């Protein structure tokens, strides 16, 4: 990611947005949240109750899809290992 990350006035506020709209770097993170976000910000996105920005909502949707896919993979492997699948 070669984009510029601009300062956000409340970026250290745990109740604020994780990814801001109008910031090139946050736009990139929203498209690819697993590539470059640290554990603290990934956790904030996973725990998100109400997205404060479009970028937060986009990243959250991707992470929810990843969680669903991982859950499906885990169930499929478990069924195969027990001979049920």
Q: What is the mean pLDDT of residues 23-29?
A: 91
pLDDT score for 17: 87
For residue 56, being part of any structural domain is answered with yes
- Do residues 66 and 34 touch, judged by C-beta distance below 8 A? yes
For residue 72, being part of any structural domain is answered with yes
- Nearest CA-CA partner of 24 in 12, 15, 36, 42: 36
For residue 11, being part of any structural domain is answered with no
| Segment 74-84, tens digit of pLDDT | 999 999 999 87
- Six-digit token string for 72: 């499906």
For residue 49, being part of any structural domain is answered with yes
Residue 29 has pLDDT above 90, yes or no: yes
Domain ranges, residue 75 = 24-81
For residue 19, being part of any structural domain is answered with no
**DSSP count for the chain of H helices, then E strands:** 3, 0
pLDDT score for 15: 63
> How many domains does the chain fold into?
1
For residue 44, being part of any structural domain is answered with yes
pLDDT score for 10: 65
Q: What is the mean pLDDT of residues 44-68?
A: 92
- Do residues 31 and 58 touch, judged by C-beta distance below 8 A? yes
In the block, tokens 């956790």 appear at 43
């Amino acid at each position: 990611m070669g984009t510029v990350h601009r300062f956000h006035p409340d970026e250290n506020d745990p109740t604020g947005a994780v990814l801001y709209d109008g910031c090139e770097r946050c736009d990139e993170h929203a498209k690819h949240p697993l590539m470059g976000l640290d554990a603290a910000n990934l956790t904030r996105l996973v725990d998100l109750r109400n997205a404060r920005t479009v970028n937060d909502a986009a990243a959250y949707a991707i992470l929810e899809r990843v969680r669903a896919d991982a859950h499906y993979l885990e169930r499929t492997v478990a069924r195969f290992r027990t001979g049920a699948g």
